[in-house]
Chain A
Amino acid sequence: MDRWLRAAKPWALLLLAAPAAWLWALALADRLGANPAEALIRGLGLWALRLLWLTLLVTPLRQLTGWQALAGWRRGLGLWAFGYALLHLLAYAWLDQGGDLAAIARDVAQRPFILVGAVAVLLLVPLAATSFDAAIRRLGARRWRALHRLVYAVALLALLHWFWMRSGKRLWGEVAVYAALLALLLGWRLRAAVSRARARAPAATGRPPSRARG
């Protein structure tokens, strides 16, 4: 399985360009419905969310299945999540706000859910910028891991952004599904962290050897 996963990785990652290419082609061909700009912006946002969730799935799946080669997929998936999030932000800035920075500033001030989304994308920048081996060496593995835990905050912000947007029409069905999936993904890590802490606990805080008995 690991060999197969390693061989498939470059092709699978290449394939992830397809949703963006497809959305763009539909938009240019005027096949995205009555409001193509909105459909394109929302389509890119939804793919950013999907890819972020997939990135977070890598570690639990690897631990469950024992397929160690999955670890090699995480960076590529994470970079794609960042790529789609960035395209989502750029599509909003360009197609919704006409690239007018003053208009964007006013819009962010008026609509807090956009601020939340923008912060989520900005928080992904340091992660994307340190997603190569030299950065891990320079930062040291411990600090690099600490920095990349930001991804949990990004996922929560992205979910809040989407929930808030959908609250306008109270359309929370899909958001609830993604929230449940994220709860599983983060819950898995929480449980692992708790059991790690428990495993360490007896050694660290266990009773000192009793003198009375000794």
Chain B
Amino acid sequence: RPPLAARPSTVAGAHTPEAPTPYELVTGYNNFYEFGTDKEDPARLAHRMRLRPWTVQVDGLVARPLTLDLDDLLKLAPMEERVYRLRCVEGWSMVIPWIGYSLSALIEHARPLGSAKFVEFHTLADRETMPGLRSSVLLWPYVEGLRMDEARHPLTLLAFGLYGELLPPQNGAPLRVVVPWKYGFKSAKSIVRIRFVERQPATAWSVAAPHEYGFYANVNPDVPHPRWSQATERRLGQGGLFAPRVKTQPFNGYAEQVAGLYAGMDLRRFY
């Protein structure tokens, strides 16, 4: 894959000291239901996705609606490398060296109106190249969303690459968001539209199973999921079969940077 140059990020919390998960696991074990529900499906099928030309529509409550080409987006801000923990709601986790820049750079560029309270991400839904769309597991296109202050937080990354190269298709090429303190499903892949709205977006998993997946989906060991214990997690690629599970940290270990966003909120209610 083509390399993507980047400098180390200076954003607080952007470099976890933990060892990155091997490339083969990062690119071989993915949830990307547009290509199928097995973890191996995306690595097998996502190469069908047409990545060029790629445009992102930026609209809704903004001073200037835009349609940005991928080349514009790649040049919008300097590329940074950030090593984030990724915690899946299914109880496993990875450590991934991403490349991109803070989503806030794009938000400033689009100049949202004061009435914009949330950001919605719409991801690609192409029936020709995405066999998973035939399944009714979720509503397509996959929609995710963040509150404006979450979207503007410097740790919220608009990612274009990982491990020093452009994103492999199965990891959400050509661009995705990465929100390291939330469960992985909040980090929308292969984004085609970014919309600023006043009301809380109806996000894919919170519509599919509202009792299990909330809008916020902050990593929280104290709020159990009926299927997966959230108290602990399995760090993939470390020790294989007998690797003990490790304790899950509130906000996936990013509490110092992000807990303030939720001051006064009952996180058991807003899970």
Contact = CB atoms under 8 A, between A and B. Distances in A.
Contacts of A113: 226-227
A135 B40 CA distance: 48
A2 interface: no
Interface residues on B, range: 20 to 34
A158 to B, nearest CB: 17
A40 B25 CA distance: 18
A28 B92 CA distance: 20
A12 B105 CA distance: 65
B265 interface: no
B29 A168 contact: no
A37 B241 contact: yes
Interface string B206-229: 001100100000000000111111
Given A27-B241, A106-B231, 18 more contacts: A27-B240, A34-B25, A34-B237, A36-B241, A37-B234, A38-B234, A107-B229, A110-B229, A111-B224, A164-B227, A165-B227, A167-B209, A168-B90, A168-B212, A168-B225, A170-B137, A170-B208, A171-B137
Interface string A11-40: 000000000000000011010111111101
Contacts of A169: 37, 137
B226 A112 contact: yes
Contacts of A164: 226-227
Given A96-B245, A111-B229, A168-B227, A30 B137 contact: no
B68 interface: no
B236 A168 contact: no
Interface string B112-139: 0000000000000000000000000110
A95 interface: yes
Interface string A33-50: 111111010000000000
Contacts of A28: 241
Nearest to A172: B137
B209 A35 contact: no
Nearest to B33: A169
A111 B90 CA distance: 13
A36 B240 contact: yes
B244 interface: yes
A95 B28 CA distance: 22
Interface residues of A, number: 27
A72 interface: no
Contacts of B262: none
Interface of B is mostly: loop
10 closest A-B pairs by beta carbon, nearest first, are A168-B227, A34-B29, A110-B224, A36-B241, A34-B25, A170-B137, A34-B236, A27-B241, A30-B240, A107-B229
B39 interface: yes
Given A27-B241, A98-B245, A33 B227 contact: no
B142 to A, nearest CB: 13
Contacts of B90: 168
11 contacts: A28-B241, A35-B39, A37-B242, A38-B234, A106-B229, A113-B226, A164-B227, A167-B209, A168-B227, A169-B137, A170-B138
Contacts of A36: 240-241
Among A32, A35, A170, the most chain B Cβ lie within 10 Å of the Cβ of: A35
A110 B232 CA distance: 13
B39 A34 contact: yes
A113 B138 CA distance: 22
Contacts of A167: 209, 227
B29 to A, nearest CB: 4
Contacts of A110: 224, 226, 229
Given A170-B208, A171-B37, A30 B226 contact: no
Contacts of A168: 90, 209, 212, 225-228
A165 B212 CA distance: 12
B241 A30 contact: yes
Interface string B231-251: 100101100111111000000
A37 B90 CA distance: 13
Contacts of A38: 92, 234
Interface in A133-172: 164-165, 167-171
B170 to A, nearest CB: 13
Nearest to B89: A168
Nearest to A91: B241
B29 A35 contact: yes
